[in-house]
Chains A and B, each alone.
Chain A
């Protein structure tokens, strides 16, 4: 058909990948399992590889973001792949990581606290090394945006090129930087047992979160986390 040949000629002049036919199957992005089946289902398989996966907190300090990040580290290291944790505010708790069941020998820990500049440089080095199956970045307490969105945009491009999933435990309401997706966390619903005082015990909590991907995919997810002293059989 003359129309088809005209379209074909037009497509030949366009840069490859810029235009596609509506009938063509969109290639799905690779994902890395989160280690939590309910969250995998909400995210469409897991954390998107080659992207900044921003975990955005609500007003509460207890939202479950660290729990989710540590579960991902556990899933990746248990499969034999190395992971990296860039601890901008020096808040990573090794016993919690061990309680998650992570293989700590396969985890590179860049210990903070550090400046925003050092965080960006460290993240850059870790991403471009291309060695890690997962990279977790927790920005420092002050100036986490580290001189502007351009730096994070560059990191998102580097993540895209390296193909590594990057989990950013974002601060405040900053939600996106270039090729990124956001997951919003509500306050953790803590679960206690026993009377107040010495007989009381923190049993765990229920996490509620909402995913909002740049491709328009949205989902809500609720699951439970157990206190470390209840996790192991």
Chain B
């Protein structure tokens, strides 16, 4: 493949651990912040914010040294989960722009950018879109484009928001930059410095012949890069995951649901934005709370019952948490939402308006949080008059449902409806001529004036346990028409319901 046909992009988030922490705790943005490689006083500072740098804090200091220089500096050890979630968020952004994405170990995201101009415009426009998308998710990123993944990585570190290293013009753009931008090994950097090769232009000016014998393979590779030649391509593409995770770790504990819900809403906001970018909608949510006493508290909501609105997700989780609160204070949480595909609405020209599927999902999710999982849906159209409980099937109205094919009802005569008692009432029944004659129960007592039945039911072949009994319709004067169940296995009587 010729270089002109190839173009790769690199998304680079400077000081990624700091950005990951600020993303989950936006209040930190205003403070002098430093990331350390541990949580003790002797741990080393690895990244600092600009305001911490102005106070004299430097990378490599110990946390104690940093605090002695600047008492206000906030030194934190970034949680691995928080940084991983931030990298995944950037990966999602890249996945919205390309199908071939690779994640580097240092958190840089590489993707194939050639051929996408028709969708996203020029590379400069694409870069700006990526920066905007990342900015919406709380990141400050730089984007670089190059004919190979190494050149794309170099372009992303050039300093400008978007840098495009066009084939043939690479050397001119990066010639004045220090040679360290090519990421040589420490030994190679020392050798180049000793040879007074300070800038990329100095290296490119060296004759290609003899570089290999003097500086080895690494020297040859760096010289090619300095000359704008890069054959490296994506070798380990990631498979986009449909599970979106946001992690928040706290330096303090929360013993109240309200501030926790505030933080959960922030995480749900970020996940919702990531899903929208990839054209997905939330499906099933799981919330793992890290408890102060080293335990965890896990909660889950129904599949397909969540709205794409982050406020709905947080209110549903609020209700779930209220019903099942954690046993001790919380020092962090992980919100995981599995994505599902959005359903499009196909309206009909001559039919009634159709409910938008996302609104149905929103409503059923809210109702499930109130009345419990498995209690929201539609009556099963295959329900048959038997004794087992009827469970709802998912409520999923669609245009074709408007034309249903039930038998035609005789006009002007509604069908008499049965109302089931839940649970049925136990009754004591006196019989005469093998038929119920008098009944006594908490619900109704008295003489039975009319009886229809028995209709025998033997359902042992379809249930877990044997069911055998007889049904009767009985009328008690002034009290109503009831259905009685006579269990032939234990000779018990139940009032199943009433014709109402």
Binding site for B on A (CB under 8 A): 35-38, 59-71, 74, 77-82, 89-114, 118, 121-122, 125-126, 129, 131, 187-188, 190, 192, 194, 196-198, 200-202, 204-205, 223-228, 231-233
| Closest Cβ neighbor of B381 among chain A residues | A104
Considering residues B375, B376, B391, B473, which has the most beta carbons from chain A within 10 angstroms of its beta carbon?
Answer: B375
CA distance A190 to B451 in the complex (A): 12
Identify 15 new A-B residue pairs, CB closer than 8 A, beyond the known A97-B417, A226-B410: A36-B414, A62-B479, A64-B500, A90-B420, A98-B379, A102-B406, A105-B398, A107-B379, A110-B367, A110-B375, A122-B371, A131-B359, A200-B452, A205-B416, A231-B415
Please tell me which stretch of B52-60, B102-110, B382-390 contacts chain A, meaning at least 4 of its Cβ atoms lie within 8 angstroms of it. Answer: B382-390
| Closest Cβ neighbor of A224 among chain B residues | B413
CA distance A121 to B376 in the complex (A): 14
- The number of inter-chain residue pairs (CB within 8 angstroms) is 244
CA distance A80 to B379 in the complex (A): 16
Q: Select which of A61, A100, A122, A194 is within 8 A of B415 by beta carbon.
A: A100
Q: Which residues of A contact B435 (CB under 8 A)?
A: 196-197
Which are the 3 A-B pairs with shortest beta-carbon distances? A80-B402, A62-B480, A61-B480
CA distance A67 to B415 in the complex (A): 7
Q: Select which of A77, A89, A126, A232 is within 8 A of B422 by beta carbon.
A: A89
Tell whether A106 pairs with B376 under 8 Å between CB atoms, given A62-B500, A100-B409.
no
A105 with B392: CB separation less than 8 A: no
Binding site for A on B (CB under 8 A): 351-352, 355, 359-360, 362-364, 366-367, 370-371, 375-381, 383-385, 390-392, 395-398, 401-404, 406-422, 433, 435, 443-444, 450-454, 473, 475, 478-482, 497-500
B371 with A95: CB separation less than 8 A: no
B407 with A233: CB separation less than 8 A: yes
Tell whether A99 pairs with B371 under 8 Å between CB atoms, given A61-B498, A81-B352.
no
Q: Which residues of B contact A205 (CB under 8 A)?
A: 416, 481, 499
CA distance A13 to B245 in the complex (A): 58
| Closest Cβ neighbor of B483 among chain A residues | A202
A93 with B417: CB separation less than 8 A: yes
Q: Which residues of A contact B385 (CB under 8 A)?
A: 95
14 pairs, A vs B, C-beta closer than 8 Å: A36-B412, A91-B421, A99-B415, A103-B401, A105-B378, A107-B379, A112-B375, A118-B371, A125-B370, A129-B359, A196-B451, A196-B452, A226-B415, A231-B410
A60 with B479: CB separation less than 8 A: yes
CA distance A114 to B451 in the complex (A): 33
Tell whether A94 pairs with B380 under 8 Å between CB atoms, given A61-B480, A111-B375, A113-B422.
yes
Write the nearest CB–CB distance from A155 to chain B, whole angstroms.
15
B401 with A106: CB separation less than 8 A: yes
Q: Which residues of A contact B410 (CB under 8 A)?
A: 226, 231-233
CA distance A205 to B205 in the complex (A): 103
Q: Which residues of B contact A112 (CB under 8 A)?
A: 371, 375, 422
